[in-house]
A and B are shown apart, each in its own frame.
Chain A
Amino acid sequence: QKEVEQNSGPLSVPEGAIASLNCTYSDRGSQSFFWYRQYSGKSPELIMSIYSNGDKEDGRFTAQLNKASQYVSLLIRDSQPSDSATYLCAVNEPYNTDKLIFGTGTRLQVFP
């Protein structure tokens, strides 16, 4: 059973702090990794993709990938109340790359 694991949270951080969201995956063959943000009652939207070990930065967001340890993380710097949402980690199914496997998501709460 291929799995993507996330802590469901909620993760509560004060405004201006760094929020750190983590995700582990079970299959070493996965090559593509994504973070989606989902506001309550809305559809998921893609915020980051990462394919190589290391860090990838986009504005206040940094995705980190460590294939040896099979984890991917998302850092949100200078967290804002508008960042309060559920963050979904997604990983491609290695032997059928048409498919993405999603984690159950981590709920982030940023308080003023």
Chain B
Amino acid sequence: DAGITQSPRHKVTETGTPVTLRCHQTENHRYMYWYRQDPGHGLRLIHYSYGVKDTDKGEVSDGYSVSRSKTEDFLLTLESATSSQTSVYFCAISEDRGEKLFFGSGTQLSVL
């Protein structure tokens, strides 16, 4: 996967606990994205970043926050996890705005 690492790969947590997912890239790409993928819904954008400290919301941003303090790292935080946030989370990077995305391996998150 084009220099993208997601961690953890799997996580099980309880309702109400905070969770942070990490995306790390070695490609020095400007754009980074967090998607979630659920059966019947496809890939939906949560948040994205267009530079260090520059982020914007996607279509399903409620309950999620992000931070990007360095070019290579993009963090996704679930402030208080709910069962509806059980999903597969993908990080993606792009060299140019909205153009060819390269995806990480994904994080399977289960909220019990």
Q: Which residues of A contact B (CB under 8 A)?
A: 32, 34, 36, 42-46, 49, 88, 90, 92-93, 96-105
Whole-angstrom distance between the Cβ of A21 and the nearest chain B Cβ:
14
Whole-angstrom distance between the Cβ of B71 and the nearest chain A Cβ:
16
Give CA–CA (A90, B41) in the complex, Å. 13
Instruction: Let me know if B42 and A105 touch, CB within 8 A.
Output: yes
In the complex, per-residue mask of B82-112: 1 if CB is within 8 Å of any chain A CB, else 0: 0000000010000001111111111000000
A-B contact count (CB 8 A): 53
Q: Check A88/B42 contact, CB under 8 A, given A43-B104, A98-B48.
A: yes
Q: Which residues of B contact A (CB under 8 A)?
A: 1, 31, 35, 40-45, 48, 50, 56, 58, 90, 97-106
Whole-angstrom distance between the Cβ of A86 and the nearest chain B Cβ:
9
Whole-angstrom distance between the Cβ of B74 and the nearest chain A Cβ:
14
Instruction: Let me know if A104 and B103 touch, CB within 8 A.
Output: no
Contact of A98 among B98, B104, B105, B106 (CB under 8 A): B98
Instruction: Let me know if B99 and A32 touch, CB within 8 A.
Output: yes
User: A99 — which chain B residues lie within 8 A by C-beta?
Assistant: 45, 48, 58, 98
